[in-house]
């Protein structure tokens, strides 16, 4: 069989959630399946080194163009020319006229729901508009929809009125390089390279409203004004003008002095960051899965996450749960866990065991089973 994989963004230098999921799938397809041929369609960008060469995986680099043009025109044309028998689109959207059997990974349907907040960059708003148009148009054409957890599977089936056998939940994994870094030299190098504080709380927030930057900064402000803020908050690649606007909206512009910024950190460097964090915050309003939670657990960091959507299921009792819509609750969770060494050690031990359940090898194996199921009908 000859199978096409849409992995448009994996060559970009600043990869994020869905980019890493697509990259890990492609890297592990060869490990679990040497019989079939795979054609991976990517958009031209700088990071060609992220994907090793495999005998049964052919790379098709399509020239750079706006996302809708690339997906709706260049991708199906290239897939047909490459002779693929099935096309797997990995990042929520797909060609409306694929010209062949289609599998879609629908990570979530947040953009089809009523959000509690309406912020976001112009790019994010355009992306949501495109998904709101595209996803209802393509899901009915898919032979199978893959999503990342049972919670999201139920959301998708309820929203579209599908039977459960039309949607398959396949857990995301955690990359193999995520382990606690004990080497003092590597830790010191990361601390110097990214200007890390001696002690910090790690928060992977961004301008997407679901990440709950407002709630986190408000919780930080509460702790600061109560004299209970234990250390700085570490944030990565985030727009500072956006953050300054949030700080003004919560009436505490000075809270930015309590935040350490690093800029973008490559995925390969993240274990050394996690390993030096006192706590990891993941109090999102809504997620489809939450890979960073599992990464933090694998690196031996206690996690605070939300009582909402998939987070309690993914955490599986190995994280401290809080109400993300109540900054006072989040502030109390940070304060209490930071000073409770017994609870921290308990969560670290539970988290490490929990993280063992999530494997990219298993993810790839189950995905290949779906390809076989469709092509052998």
Q: Which of 63-67, 103-107, 266-270 has the lowest mean pLDDT?
A: 63-67
Q: How confident is the model at residue 237 (pLDDT cuts 50, 70, 90)?
A: confident
Distance CA 5, CA 300 (A): 34
Q: How confident is the model at residue 14 (pLDDT cuts 50, 70, 90)?
A: confident
Instruction: Give me the helix-helix angle, 213-225 and 240-249, nearest 10°.
Output: 60
Average pLDDT over residues 291-303: 97
Write the pLDDT tens digit of every residue in 249-258: 999 999 999 9
The residue with greater pLDDT, 125 or 226, is: 226
Mean pLDDT of the chain: 93
Task: Give the domains, in start order, of the chain with CATH numbers.
Answer: 2-173+359-375 (3.40.50.2000), 184-355 (3.40.50.2000)
Beta carbons of 235 and 220 less than 8 angstroms apart: no
Distance CA 194, CA 201 (A): 15
105 has which bridge partners? 146
Q: Which of 67-71, 122-126, 128-132 has the lowest mean pLDDT?
A: 122-126
Distance CA 213, CA 207 (A): 8
In what order do the strands lie in the sheet containing 167-169? 57-62, 37-43, 2-6, 86-89, 102-105, 144-147, 167-169
Write the pLDDT tens digit of every residue in 269-291: 999 999 999 999 999 999 888 99
Q: Give the pLDDT of residue 122.
A: 66
Q: Give the pLDDT of residue 123.
A: 63
Write the pLDDT tens digit of every residue in 63-83: 878 888 999 999 999 999 999
Beta carbons of 54 and 19 less than 8 angstroms apart: no
**What DSSP character marks residue 42?**
E
- Percent of residues in the chain assigned helix, strand, coil, to nearest 5: 45, 15, 40
SS in 3 state form for 169-183? ECCCCCCCCCCCCCC
Q: Give the pLDDT of residue 116.
A: 41
């Amino acid at each position: 069989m000859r199978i096409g994989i849409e992995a448009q963004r994996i060559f970009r230098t600043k990869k994020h959630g869905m980019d890493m999921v697509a990259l890990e799938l492609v890297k592990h397809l060869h490990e679990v399946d040497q019989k079939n041929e795979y054609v991976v369609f990517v958009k031209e960008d700088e990071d060609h080194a992220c994907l090793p060469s495999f005998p049964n995986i052919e790379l098709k680099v399509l020239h750079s163009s706006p996302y809708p043009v690339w997906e709706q025109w260049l991708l199906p044309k290239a897939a047909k020319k490459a002779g693929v028998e099935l096309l797997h689109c990995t990042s929520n959207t797909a060609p409306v006229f694929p010209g062949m059997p289609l599998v879609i990974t629908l990570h979530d349907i947040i953009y089809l729901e009523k959000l509690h907040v309406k912020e976001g960059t112009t790019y994010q708003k355009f992306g949501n508009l495109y998904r709101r148009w595209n996803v209802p148009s393509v899901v009915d054409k898919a032979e199978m929809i893959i999503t990342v957890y049972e919670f999201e599977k139920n959301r998708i089936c309820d929203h579209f009125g599908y039977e459960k056998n039309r949607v398959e939940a396949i857990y995301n994994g955690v990359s193999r390089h995520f382990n606690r870094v004990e080497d003092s030299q590597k830790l010191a190098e990361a601390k110097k390279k990214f200007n890390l504080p001696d002690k910090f709380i790690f928060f992977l927030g961004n301008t997407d409203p679901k990440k709950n930057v407002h709630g986190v900064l408000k919780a930080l402000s509460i702790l600061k004004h109560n004299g209970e803020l234990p250390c700085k908050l570490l944030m990565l690649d985030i727009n500072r003008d956006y953050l300054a606007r949030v700080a003004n909206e919560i009436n505490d512009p000075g809270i930015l002095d309590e935040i350490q910024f690093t800029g973008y950190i490559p995925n390969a460097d993240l274990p050394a960051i996690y390993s030096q964090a006192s706590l990891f915050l993941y109090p999102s309003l809504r997620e489809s899965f939450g890979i960073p939670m599992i990464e933090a657990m694998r690196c031996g960091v206690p996690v605070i996450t939300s009582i909402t959507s998939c987070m309690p299921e993914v955490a599986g009792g190995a994280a401290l749960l809080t109400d993300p819509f109540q900054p006072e609750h989040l502030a109390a969770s940070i304060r209490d866990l930071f000073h409770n060494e017994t609870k921290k050690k308990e969560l670290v031990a539970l988290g490490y065991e929990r993280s063992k359940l999530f494997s990219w090898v298993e993810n790839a194996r189950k995905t290949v089973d779906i390809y076989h199921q469709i092509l052998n009908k």
